Structure 1
């Protein structure tokens, strides 16, 4: 289904990566950073963006000794087939966890703001069907679609935030240090999880030319950082800290705040459309990489037979995540687990660079293909 070849360009890859972060913005990010930073919540996006830039700069430099290998290839070069299988299953388990948690969150969001009379299973099924269909078309199709749709949903988000500018209150930014330096530092560490998709970036390398890695990485971080900063600022400038901490679905709450008299109403419907498109691209892309990692790790000849079983597992886990009405994306342990998306690439790429796995021949072959 997915082969190690150039499937798309740098812009498609960047759009796909930005959407992973944008999903967090649509669901919980502004409210979560307010919980940690209070009136100084806007400092957390700045801090985590700087950390992400330093993190990527280090890995991009180390990648010179790796060639065009993805994380699965690197694992095989480091420790052979057994190690490849172990890492592949670990990455698969992590991605299944991510897609399940986010599917539950997206389902709950759509149910609250639009399909409040529908059952949770029905709404979740809609996302699951879209996810399965995307798996049959492959990650290349999702990437190309995201190149067109992600700019549209980001533009819609910007329109919503521009619409509430007249109601901005600068005094909401005081006191300057908000909840204090310790709380801001803790929030910055935990909210680094919005960049969990670095693990996807280093699985995606064989799909575009390796020389575009820096372009994709830095563009992804900078665009995402600006969106994170603007979302946090917009949220705290509208809602004082005491109110902001209790506002679920932040962007929807901002959209509800827009008033254009009697001529234009129900602006919040834009946020429904944005959230739905963001969810389909997010879930479809990660599900594709779950299938890709399993196929490559286990050396499967065909991947289509495992699509439905994996989809059922994801559906079941997502349902359980919301059956007890638990906000998993707001739990500290979940935030910590999501950091695995940055830890796994860091460890593998450091070891791979030290062993210069790109000089073993496999990396050179992949380079020739690109």
Structure 2
């Protein structure tokens, strides 16, 4: 039987410690929270949004626990390695291509969405391509320095980002209208628990966990890192959804852009600090740069393993051109919202929670059968 021993498979790539890995996952999910993820949940479940968020968070935690169990036999391996074990080079190539497309797509959509928001708030006359380039050029440059620099920047910034979100929620707490959480079941049991299960896409950050293990200095901490990351993400998702519902209940029946930004408009800190939304926008710009840097790194890393090349950085400029072109494809913000609400949502459910999970499951079954055959 092929023995899956721990070894370095990522070339000279730097490794992440526990806190760097947790922050890397958190910067992905907090970006999605900032960029209207709570609004998607609010529109679909209404006043039962807090209950639905607790429900999908529990499902996500259980799912993460199972995924960690399925990874246990494959020390220092990621989804591509496990796909190769299960179905050979063909399956590995298919999964690699799917995830390259997936990460490129979500990067393009997020950049266009946030750029359109900035344009509507501050830069009404600026060409959208210039704003997009602001979010593409720095991540391309930082990727030249490797994962070590990316992780250090994220480790420094993520605590500030999380504290700013907690501060935002705390300062709006005085405006909470608790009557907005009634009826508790919102649009009904079906929308909350059955149709509402589709909101599990909020934890699409699990896609990054599938490729995390070989990047860790201590792969035996993979489970702890995954559980903590999803746990903290669940807390911030719940707080964001609940705050929006109780402070801005009209969001349930509207299609707002960057609903968290509307929350910042309600913050007043005395007489001289009544418009601090620009401070939050500054933090979110930095968060988007970190998010894009991580996605570019992941795409290059997956391409390296899929195509079996030594230096994926050579295609960095080509990749950034593809992301820029894809970001410019939607005609307007309405098309971007459709891609986010429908295409991203269901592609996440199918690829992250469906295909990838079954690859892990069947690989474990194959591993057990090989073990039995060897013993016989």
* TM-score, L = length of structure 2: 0.89
Do 2:14 and 2:146's aligned partners in 1 also have CA atoms closer than 8 Å? no
Structure 2 distance, partners of 1:244, 1:153, is 28
Do 2:245 and 2:251's aligned partners in 1 also have CA atoms closer than 8 Å? no
Higher RCO (CA < 8 A, seq sep 6+): 1
Structure 1 distance, partners of 2:305, 2:251, is 49
* Displacement of 1:168: 1.0
* Displacement of 1:311: 1.0
* Displacement of 1:5: 5.8
Q: Which residue of 1 aligns with 2:225?
A: 216
Do 2:10 and 2:214's aligned partners in 1 also have CA atoms closer than 8 Å? no
Q: Which residue of 2 aligns with 1:153?
A: 161
Are 1:349 and 2:360 an aligned pair?
Answer: yes
Do 2:39 and 2:259's aligned partners in 1 also have CA atoms closer than 8 Å? yes
Q: Number of paired residues?
A: 359
Counterpart of 2:268 in 1: which secondary structure? coil
Structure 2 distance, partners of 1:343, 1:237, is 34
Counterpart of 2:123 in 1: which secondary structure? coil
Structure 2, unaligned stretches of length 5 or more?
Answer: 1-8, 372-376
Q: Which residue of 2 aligns with 1:337?
A: 347
* Displacement of 1:282: 0.9
* Displacement of 1:312: 0.7
* Displacement of 1:333: 3.6
* Displacement of 1:274: 2.2
Do 1:195 and 1:341's aligned partners in 2 also have CA atoms closer than 8 Å? no
Structure 2 distance, partners of 1:154, 1:107, is 22
Q: Which residue of 2 aligns with 1:265?
A: 274
* Displacement of 1:323: 4.1
Q: Structure 2 residue aligned with 1:135, among 130, 143, 146?
A: 143
Do 1:41 and 1:178's aligned partners in 2 also have CA atoms closer than 8 Å? yes
Cα displacement string for residues 144-193 of structure 1 (whole angstroms, at most 9, x for unaligned residues): 21111011011111111111111111111122221212122355322211
Q: Which residue of 2 aligns with 1:105?
A: 113
* TM-score, L = length of structure 1: 0.91
Q: Which residue of 2 aligns with 1:300?
A: 309
Counterpart of 1:164 in 2: which secondary structure? helix
Q: Which residue of 2 aligns with 1:363?
A: none
What is the alpha-carbon root mean square deviation over aligned residues?
2.2
Q: Which residue of 1 aligns with 2:209?
A: 201
